[in-house]
Amino acid sequence: MSAPTAPLSPAAADAMRRLEAALVTPDAATVEKVRAALGFTAGWKPQPHLGETATYLTVWSQMELNDLLERVGGTVTMRQVERSASDGATRTATEITLTVQVPGVGPVEIVTDIEDDPEHGYRIDIPVVALARYRSAAEHCRALAESADFDGCLAAQDEMAMCRCQLAAAGRLDLIGVA
């Protein structure tokens, strides 16, 4: 597995998705490289009606995203996004992105939303979610420290410690550089 690379900024990733969707239909060779690298079944292809391209894919659950992380590795990030419904209503969602470098293609992003509703399976105990939360808490802690809010850092450090325990229980401290 190669060293992780930083994911694109959300604005850059969105611009790339728009360009790819507007200008090019992914060629069969690119789709096949992505399919093979991610271990998808023969015949898989992106679903444009879901906003997918050859380099931007969705999965339906945190478990699916975790399976991909375990199978192919990559860089995990988390961010807040606005989602809209067919009735025009919007909601804020937490999106986890797994970015995988595919040889001959470049970065491929696979995304899913974290659902806070236990009915939908919000799983803080799986490595992909624990890793995303750990990295988000670490970033938040750095920002708080830069603004000299050391009391605020304590909550972020508690979150990091909890995520570290979850990663340790899963045997995946390697995901945060501890092994």
Tens of pLDDT along the chain (179 residues) come to: 555 566 778 788 777 777 766 555 678 899 999 999 999 999 889 988 888 889 999 998 888 899 999 999 999 888 888 888 788 888 888 888 999 999 999 999 999 888 655 555 567 778 888 888 888 889 889 999 999 988 888 988 998 998 889 888 888 888 888 75
Does residue 98 form part of some domain? yes
* Long-range contacts of residues 155-164, Cβ cutoff 8 Å, at least 24 apart: 159/133, 159/134, 160/134, 163/130, 163/131, 163/133, 163/134, 163/137, 164/134
In the beta sheet, which residues pair with residue 81?
A: 93
Angle (deg, nearest 10), helices 62-72 and 127-146: 90
**Are residues 111 and 132 both part of a single domain?**
no
**Are residues 85 and 136 both part of a single domain?**
no
**Are residues 98 and 26 both part of a single domain?**
yes
Contact 99, 128 (CB under 8 A): no
Show the domain range for 59: 10-116
**Are residues 109 and 131 both part of a single domain?**
no
**Are residues 92 and 138 both part of a single domain?**
no
Does residue 90 form part of some domain? yes
Q: 20 is written with which tokens?
A: 């790819």
What pLDDT shows up at residue 21?
Answer: 63
Rounded to an integer, what distance in angstroms lies between the CA atom of residue 20 and that of residue 23?
5
Rounded to an integer, what distance in angstroms lies between the CA atom of residue 89 and that of residue 40?
34
What pLDDT shows up at residue 71?
Answer: 92
What pLDDT shows up at residue 56?
Answer: 92
What pLDDT shows up at residue 12?
Answer: 81
| Nearest Cα residue to 131 out of 68, 56, 80, 75 | 75
Helices first, then strands: H and E counts in the chain? 5, 4
Q: Identify the three-state secondary structure at position 37.
A: helix
Last residue of a domain, one of 81, 116, 151: 116
What pLDDT shows up at residue 23?
Answer: 57
**Are residues 31 and 107 both part of a single domain?**
yes
